[in-house]
Amino acid sequence: MTGARRSLMAVAAIVPACWLGGFLWFLNVTRHRPDTYLPPHTDGIVALTGGAGRVELALHLLANGQADRLLLSGIGGGTDLGTLGRRAGIDTMPLSNRVTLGRYAASTRGNGVEAASWAEQNGIGSLIVVTAAYHMPRALAELRQSLPGVRLFPFPVLPARTRGTPENGPGLRQEAEEYSKYLLAVSGLTAWLPHREPALTHANAGG
């Protein structure tokens, strides 16, 4: 067996082992309740929509005075703030001038682009990040690339089963797919993939 072939076989064995080791770390991070730290007050909150509980949690944080402003990133075109407030059990009228419905993002990378534009327009220096626990590592990777000067405080929405209900979180296959996407995000490769969003303008950034 030649040296080159032995090297290829070694790489073929090492790469899956590294992926599996990283995936086990990922599961440990996303499946256990974190020791979440939130400062007494932040400039803003961004909720990356697309999953249960994210908008509701973000609205409650804003209503409780945890931050000055809120961006709901990736909101569907026909959804209004009043409807979102009713689902969360919150009167959104007093909050309406502090909430931005971001309709630009169609991907996690798009969330980062939208959040960066909104943060610049509103002078945001500290930001609570709300998304699902399994999605949080990738969300933070994208946001840190888009918002290098902003302090990020993750506040994940955990699967309902961890709160004593029979509902299930994401399956192992979905978590494996999410971990692979996280690797692309943390390596910066998502910037080179086809974009699902149009060119960003002030209007669709939710300014």
* pLDDT, tens digit (0-9, with 9 covering 90-100), for 62-94: 999 999 999 999 998 788 999 999 999 999 999
Dist CA 183 CA 140 (whole Å):
12
CA distance 19 to 14: 9
Q: Which residues contact 106 (CB under 8 A, 6 or more apart)?
A: 74, 196, 197
Strand partners, 47: 72, 130
pLDDT mean over 101-118 = 95
Spatial neighbors of 188 by CB under 8 A, at least 6 apart, are 145
Q: Domain-by-domain residue ranges, the chain?
A: 30-192
Higher-pLDDT residue of 22, 67: 67
Instruction: Return the CATH fold of 30-192.
Output: Rossmann fold (3.40.50)
Higher pLDDT, 33 or 174: 174
Question: Exposure of 178 by Cβ count < 10 A (0-12 exposed, 13-18 middle, 19+ buried)?
Answer: buried
pLDDT, one tens digit per residue, over 158-196 is 766 544 443 456 788 888 888 888 888 888 888 777 777
For the cut 60, the answer to whether the pLDDT of residue 155 exceeds it is: yes
Query: Would you call 46 helix, strand, or coil by DSSP?
Result: strand
Residue 51 is predicted with a pLDDT of 87
Place of tokens 């990922």: 26
Main-chain dihedrals φ then ψ at residue 3, nearest 5 degrees: -60, -40
| Tokens at 88, concatenated | 């969360």
